[in-house]
């Protein structure tokens, strides 16, 4: 069983969304019989200065610093491993309420990230911003973020983009994403089930 810790990064406004998505992801991997264990790592409150106000063509946008998000998630993962005394936990997924961005070292501009995946030594740090998925329709909001999480986890285990009706098929726009089935296609699911790190361990 491979474990992914899940952490929430944001204020109280969207905690409900985090827990709805968290619970749905847990049930999904159980129902499709993939040995992926989703555990709650807690809430991360980023210190002042990590929320950056960036001027864009459409106005000012608040963003979390890419580096601050990675550092906070890495720290939470190390803390959790120490607390539960389990060195096998090497993956953490953060769901953020603000977009994630980083400043180019030579120019005063920012690159925006919808989702990120970074390896820090043997640890895997993932994050997804819920901001681009926002809608007043709560069910649709949950569905959009849920599919985004499945997409990022698919990449974590080596899946490439797909051309079927599948969460690994990147959308042209948000309307296209809404039409996407909230699951992996049979081919992608079969690839996941054949991944070495998700194969049952033989007892010697």
How much is the pLDDT for 108? Answer: 57
Tell me whether residue 152 is one of the annotated catalytic residues: yes
Q: Domains of the chain: which residue ranges?
A: 2-198
Fold of the 2-198 domain: Collagenase (Catalytic Domain) (3.40.390)
- What is each CA distance from 79 to 51, 89, 105, 131, in whole angstroms? 23, 11, 30, 27
Model pLDDT, residue 199: 63
pLDDT, position 150 = 97
Catalytic residue among 13, 71, 143, 152: 152
> In a structure prediction context, what are the per-residue pLDDT tens digits for the chain, which is 204 residues long?
899 999 999 889 999 999 999 999 999 999 999 999 999 999 998 877 677 777 766 777 788 888 889 999 999 999 998 888 778 899 999 999 988 887 665 555 566 677 889 999 889 999 999 999 999 999 999 999 999 999 999 999 999 999 999 999 999 999 999 999 999 999 999 999 998 777 655 333
**C-alpha closest to that of 141 among 172, 100, 97, 189:** 97
Residue 104's pLDDT is 63
pTM equals: 0.90
């Amino acid at each position: 069983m491979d474990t992914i810790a899940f952490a929430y990064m944001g204020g109280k406004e969207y905690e409900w969304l985090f827990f709805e998505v968290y619970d749905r992801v847990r049930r999904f991997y159980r129902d499709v019989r993939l040995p992926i264990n989703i555990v709650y790592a807690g809430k991360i409150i980023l210190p002042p200065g990590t929320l950056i106000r960036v001027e864009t063509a459409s106005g000012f946008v608040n963003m979390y610093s890419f580096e601050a998000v990675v550092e906070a998630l890495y720290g939470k993962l190390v803390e959790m491993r120490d607390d539960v005394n389990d060195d096998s936990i090497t993956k953490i997924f953060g769901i953020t309420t603000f977009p994630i961005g980083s400043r180019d070292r030579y120019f005063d501009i920012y690159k925006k990230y919808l989702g990120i995946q970074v390896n820090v030594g043997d640890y895997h740090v993932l994050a997804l911003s819920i901001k681009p998925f926002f809608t007043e329709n709560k069910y649709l909001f949950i569905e959009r973020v849920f599919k985004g999480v499945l997409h990022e986890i698919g990449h974590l285990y080596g899946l490439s983009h797909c051309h079927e009706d599948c969460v690994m098929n990147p959308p042209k726009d948000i309307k296209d994403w809404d039409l996407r089935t909230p699951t992996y296609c049979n081919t992608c699911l079969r690839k996941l089930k054949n991944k070495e790190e998700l194969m049952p361990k033989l007892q010697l």
